[in-house]
Amino acid sequence: MRRVAALLIVASAAALAAAGTAGATNECRGFQVCVPVAGPWVLAPGRAETQWQLSCPKGFLVGGLDAELTRPAIDLAFRATLGSPVNPGISTSTAAIFLGRLTLGSDPAASFRPHIGCIPAAGGGQRVPTALRLFPPGRPTVVRASQIPAQAGTTHRIVRGCKAGEELVSASHAIGFADPRPPTRRLAASVHVRGATKHGSVTLVVHADAAAAGSRPVVQIDLTCAGGS
C-alpha cells in the first residue's frame, strides 16, 4: 500500500526521554518520544482536492506523517511552510493539513486515512533575520477547522466564519468515517453535504441517511482565513 513519506526531522536528543509506539504505519519511526494520532477515513472520490486537518495533543508538534489509501491512484500530500532545516515549528506546527485527490478512475468510496506522529514542542527552530527589508515565507493565513458529527437520519444546518478581524480566503469541507475499516460505496453515499458562501461566512446543510448508522460520520469544515494575529 502506498504511503506518504515520513517527514524528516532534526530533533534534539536531550528532549527524547521516553519511548512511543505507532501501529502498522510509520509516522513515529525514528522518534523515541512520539504520540501517534490517526484520523478518520476521508472521502477523496474525484479530481477535486479534499482537505483534512489532523491535530496533535496540546504541547506537541507534528514530527512525522503517514497515511493509508484505499486506492493507489490517490495523490496525497500535506501543506508545509518553507524553511531550513525541516523542523517542527518551521515546516510543521501543531496540526497537519492533508491534501488528497483521486487521479485515475472513478470510485465514490475512494478514501485515505491520515496519520501524524506528535513530538514534544520544546526545541523548535528559528529563522535567521536578513539585513534587507525582505520577508521570508511565513504563515499569512490560518486554517480554522471544525468538525460536525452527522447522525443517521438527521439534517443539520451549520454556519461558520473566520474570527473578528480576519477575512475569509477560501473554504472547503470533507466527509470522514471514524471506523477502522474504509467506507463502502453505500456508506460513502449515505452522507450528503450542500454548501454556500455569503458575506464572509459558510453555510453547510448536512444530511445523513439511515445507512450511516454506526459508522460515526463526521464533516470537517476548513476555513482559510487571512489578516489575523
Q: Are 62 and 95 in contact (CB under 8 A)?
A: yes
Please say which residue of 88, 120, 152 terminates a domain.
Answer: 120
Looking at the structure, do residues 149 and 115 belong to the same domain, yes or no?
A: no
Q: What is the mean pLDDT of residues 41-51?
A: 93
CATH number where 166 lies: 2.60.40
Residue partners of 26: CB distance under 8 A and separation at least 6: 3, 6, 64, 66
How many domains are contained in the chain? Answer: 2
Looking at the structure, do residues 97 and 155 belong to the same domain, yes or no?
A: no
Quote the cell numbers at residue 59: 504541547
- Of residues 40 and 129, more confidence is placed in 40
Q: Does 5 have pLDDT greater than 50?
A: no
CATH number where 113 lies: 2.60.120
Interval 52-104: pLDDT, tens: 999 999 999 999 999 999 999 999 999 888 776 767 767 788 999 999 999 88
Looking at the structure, do residues 62 and 156 belong to the same domain, yes or no?
A: no
Residue 56 included in any domain: yes
- Quickly state the pLDDT bin for 220 (edges 50, 70, 90): very high
Please give the residue range of the domain that contains residue 214.
141-226
Looking at the structure, do residues 156 and 204 belong to the same domain, yes or no?
A: yes
Give the integer Cα–Cα distance in Å for 210 and 203: 23
pLDDT at 127: 40
Quote the cell numbers at residue 12: 534534539
Residue 7 included in any domain: no
Interval 177-190: pLDDT, tens: 998 899 999 999 99
Interval 127-158: pLDDT, tens: 433 344 455 555 678 899 999 999 999 999 99
Q: Are 68 and 1 in contact (CB under 8 A)?
A: yes
Name the residue with cell 513515529.
Answer: 28
| Best CA proximity match to 51, nearest among 180, 175, 141 | 175
- In the Cβ-directed half-sphere of 15, how many Cα atoms lie within 13 Å? 15
Give the integer Cα–Cα distance in Å for 29 and 39: 18
Q: What is the mean pLDDT of residues 114-122?
A: 92
Q: Tell me: cis bond preceding 85? Omega within 30 of 0 counts.
A: yes
pLDDT at 134: 56
- Quickly state the pLDDT bin for 123 (edges 50, 70, 90): low
Q: Does 217 have pLDDT greater than 90?
A: yes
DSSP state of 212: G
